[in-house]
Structure formats: C-alpha cells, structure tokens
Structure 1
Amino acid sequence: MPFGIQIYAIWHTSDKILCLFCQMAENKREIILKAAREVFSKRGFDGCSIREIAAQAGLNHQKITYYFQTKEKLFLEVIEDAFHALHEIGDSLVFDPEVQDPIAQYEAHLLQVAGYFETNRAFLKIIYLESLTQSPRMEAIQPYIVKLRNSVKKELMYLRHYGFGSHLPIDQVLLLFSGCFHALFIHPYLGIEPYATHPVDPAGYIKSLLGLLRQ
C-alpha cells in the first residue's frame, strides 16, 4: 500500500475513534444528568451527595467529578439543560400571518409545552424545592425564568392583535397563565385538593383557558 494511502487510512481510523470517544463521553454526560435530575428532585441539592448521584447513574463518583467537577456545577448544568430544551420549544413557535386562527396555533404550542413539563416533572420539583428554601442558587436560576416569562409575554402581546386577552391587562393574562401552570404541574406535586385526587387534563384545561381569553 502506498505511503500516502497508509497515512490517510491511519488518519481516517483515528478520526473515527475520536468520534466514538466523543459520543461515549456525551452518553456518559446524559446518563449523569438524568441521574442528577432524579436525585436532586427527591432529596434537594443539600440533601444529596455526588456519591448518591453516581450510584443512581451506575457510575464511579470520580466520573462525575471528571465531567462536572463539583456538585454545584452539575446542578447548574441540570438546570441549563432543562431550560435549553424548553427554550427550543419556545423558539420553534413561529406565527404565520396567513393562518386564520393563530390562537389555535398557539394552543398546539401550549400542548407541546405541557407535554414537556409532563415528562420532566423532576425538573419542576427541583425548581420548587430551590424556591421554597430560598436557595442562593435561585440567583442563577432566575435569569432562565425571566427569559421564559418574557417569551410568553411576547407571544401574548402578538395575540392581542387578534383580540386574545385584550380585555385584560397583559400582566393579568400572565398571571392566569401562571395559575394554569401551577394547577397542572405544581399543585398535584404538593397534594393540593382537588388537583391531587382529580388530575387535571392539560388539553381540556388549556382549551378552557384560551376560550376564556378569546372573549
């Protein structure tokens, strides 16, 4: 085999091996993040250790310190990862001026958001626990919440051109949306009646809320 071809073969093989290692590292990170979400949601940040998260992940605790250095950095990565996925859903919403009923389009978007929260309750529990204890980590979480609130406000301001919620101050509409969010995902976790004993149907609840604001 010519020398040039040998060099190319070695380079190509090395590149494939490097990609494989990168993929393995990314998989390990995902495993750790998933385990951390579960442990943080059950025990809180202060109530757990790196070793407990490692046990949940089925890995040596040194793997976690290798990828994330400290428990706090791991916690912040969990938060950033969850909000990033949520913001991606928000960014996917593009109102089409030619759509006759943009509110119906928004309803489909809200159902997608509700689906995310439904499958990521651990993330919501973490935020709630941090808020409840007035954790110093809330300072790092708050910008994500503000960004999310501003995105929702921008969406609602657009829909006001179509009469959606225009009979109410925008902050009151935001408050209604916040109440809807708590009723669907926070109150059941807290065991607040009637939400704990009679689970609320997200699709029906969202449709009712939008129907109210159409008036």
Structure 2
Amino acid sequence: MFKMFKPTIQWILQAVFPFFCIGCEKEGVLLCEPCLKAIPFAKARCPVCRAPSAFGRTCAAHRSSLDGCIAVASYAHPWVRDMIRLWKFEYVREIETVLVRLLLRHLQDAALPSVAWSLIPVPLHPKRLNERGFSQTRVLSDILSEITGDTVETQLLSHGWRLRRRQADIASEAKRRTQKLHAYFRVKGDGIPTHVLLVDDVYTTGATMEGAARVLKQAGVKYVWGFVLARNK
C-alpha cells in the first residue's frame, strides 16, 4: 500500500526540502550546468563486444538482431547512476528536466543517422509500471521525439508470454536470460516501420535489447538500433 502513496509523499518532501545538485551540492537544482557539462559522453562501441565502432554500430563479425546501440553516458559515472536511481526508484520526476538538457547536449555532438526513425520504448513489465506509475522508457522516447521530430510508436511492441527452459539446457546465465527475454516481447499491428530506434534507460547485458530487436526483425523491420541513457561498460 505504501507504494501507492510514495509519489505523493515524494512530492511533499520536495516541497519542504530543497534540491541539491548531485555533483556539487549547490542548492536549488538537481544538476547544475557546470556539473552537467562535466559528465563525459559514452564512447561509441559495438553493443556485443564493446569494441570501438562508428556510431555504436554492431561489428560485422557478430550475429545480432541489434544493428547498433547509441549510449549517452556511462552507468559507471556516479552522477548518472544517482540520477537514474532517483528517477526510477525514488520517483523524482524533476530529473526529467535534467535529461532533456543532457540529451540535447549529446545529440548536438552525436547526431542520429538522418532517416525517419520510429521510436519504440522498450515495454515495461505491467507490474513495474503499476508500481512506478510511469514508464521511464516512454518518457525518454517522448524527450527524443521532441528533439528529433521522430514519431513514438507505443502500440507495436508489447510483452508476450514467458518461455520456460530447464537450467540444464542453458550453457550460461547470460544465454539463459537472453532466451527468456526473447519470449517477453511480441509485435502487434500491421504498420511495420523500416527503421526502429529502441529506447531504454540502461544497457547492461544487452539481453533486453536483443530480445526486442529479434522479434521486430522477425516481424519485418529492416533496421533496429538501440538508444540508451547509460551503458554499463
């Protein structure tokens, strides 16, 4: 029951206690402009092997449904990690104004390939959506759409059924997670776009992106790229 009132409690606390910059503790702002500019952008790397690559394109040697992945920053950076934690788990929605500034700055230096993208937020599990009250991937997609003018598609990709496999059938934890997540997504609808930009907040093992990209490719999407706020390596 507490989770139902957590956003309201957070709003009351924010009204009573002022914000302090995550970086320098300056009062009245979540992340001041000098600290924002001090956050280094993530280097473009292959999402599979993490080797340097142009724009974050997947190396030709790898068999992946994901053609590439663009990351704004590194999840290892403490300010980035703190922002995501406050946003997702403490429901500090004011973080979104910082994200707008961060994405604007990033896209000035690392523009997306100039094609008409369909922005697809990675679907949040219904249980998580109910607990949180908002989808962070939808918020990121809306911010990107405002900046780039590309369209957000929320009805094309959804959660599907769970595929169960015996542990003995899977060689490694990473492979086990990937094969489970493939079945979490399904494509619905007839309007299949050519270029899709999958939007998520954090890229860790890549299993979520790969699973979503695979079902999109199977449905007829020609190019699938990822766009994330932070990458773990």
- With normalisation by structure 2, the TM-score equals 0.33
Structure with greater strand percent: 2
